[in-house]
A = this chain, B = another copy of it.
């Protein structure tokens, strides 16, 4: 197997020349098309029962046959998006349709709500309170509708997003985890609201769903994030706040998730770029600046999983581990910030996180990335996937980064 994934930017010129941008675009493209997607097509696609298996060992061997419902949607979206935007490869479309078909047949309960995990054959294992399975089903169906023109996929995307919106934003619909004593809200629902509406709009147009257009749902989500989670006085984007945006001075309330915040930062910058709205871009840049500073580990490199708002001990055990996905989101956020501002700081940060990530997460022997490193960058478990890791954050980074670099190389990027 060719393993382009071990290449680093270190030692090269800053990302300010067209040649360097073209070289990096080729690196992201090669890693995506010759390493990462082939790994999942070869080892993950379930040719017996349909859909995708993600619990794979270092070499792609199956560690657990149970299926993640999130990943039927996430992988369906990734495959269909590559088909729509990179090349109309039949195997990508087939993979997307296999995930969609498995999801249609096996992943909903009698009420239509989607499970979290099912067996390899599709029998239900676990239902959860929240509705992220629905958000990923929505973006998958929308991308498939774009690829095939199939109206039922379009309708499914709309229905899944309706379910997502209803459970996420109608008070009382989602069963609460806590008693009413201290009402709180998390940022996740708004962040995923932005990304899901962006994908639906990109593939189906700016249609109206549950009373708002996709763009209006994005506005709503960004406004709620600004109103409740953004804290300019303490330079933080909170993960959980009181129902009216109060800081909850307890373990949960103080726990920041820098990777999540960097992901939100680029969702917002992406929206600002599409709208050519400097105010929205600057909101995303502000979040990136604050949360890079809070999240980057100056001692060992890499992005901490959790940080306490006041620098106190975090309760979650894995707080200082280095997970793959915050690094994917940081690569996108810094690269997008560089293309939008030309500020050398972002090019430096991009190189820093790109180099650290490819050095520590890549597996030169079997391809793809490890998912879980200790704080010092050593591998904690060599698996390539589980119910949370599969073909999503890493290929999305490679795909998005490739497009940004193609733009820079072709003079269509916006380096000022």
Spell out A's residues near B (CB within 8 Å).
55, 57, 63-66, 115, 119, 123-127, 177-179, 181-182, 250-251, 312-315, 317-321, 323, 372, 374-375, 380-383, 386-387
Contacts of A123 in B (CB 8 A): 179, 181
Min C-beta distance of A90 to chain B, whole Å: 33
6 further A-B contacts with Cβ under 8 Å, apart from A63-B313, A124-B181, A313-B381, are A125-B181, A315-B386, A315-B387, A317-B318, A318-B318, A319-B381
Please name the 10 residue pairs, one residue from A and one from B, whose CB atoms are nearest each other, closest first.
A313-B381, A317-B318, A313-B383, A124-B179, A123-B181, A64-B250, A64-B251, A315-B386, A318-B318, A126-B178
A177: chain B residues within 8 A (beta carbon): 126
- In the assembly, what is the distance between CA of A169 and CA of B251, in Å? 33
Most B CB within 10 A of own CB, among A123, A181, A182, A323: A181
Closest approach, in angstroms, between the C-beta of A314 and any C-beta of chain B?
6
Q: Is the CB of A179 within 8 A of B315?
A: no
A63 B312 Cβ-Cβ under 8 A: yes
**Chain B contacts of A380 at CB under 8 A?**
317, 319-320
In the complex, residue of chain B having the shortest beta-carbon distance to the beta carbon of A56: B313
Question: Is the CB–CB distance between A182 and B125 below 8 Å?
Answer: yes
Contact B372–A317 (Cβ < 8 Å):
yes
Residues from chain B with a CB closer than 8 A to the CB of A382 are 313
For residue A190, give the distance in angstroms from its CB to the closest CB of chain B. 23
Output the least CB separation between A143 and chain B (Å).
Answer: 28
Task: Give Cα distance in the complex from A372 to B198, angstroms.
Answer: 41
For the complex formed, measure the closest distance between the CB of A370 and the CB atoms of chain B, giving whole angstroms. Answer: 10
Indicate which residue in B55, B251, B372 contacts A251 across the interface (CB closer than 8 Å).
B55
By a CB distance below 8 angstroms, the chain B residues around A251 are 55, 63-64, 66, 386-387
Chain B residues whose CB sits within 8 angstroms of the CB of A66 once the complex forms: 250-251
- Taking a contact as CB atoms under 8 Å apart, the answer to whether B383 and A126 are in contact is no
Q: List 12 A-B contacts (CB under 8 A).
A: A64-B250, A64-B251, A64-B315, A119-B181, A125-B178, A125-B179, A125-B181, A313-B381, A313-B382, A315-B386, A319-B381, A320-B380
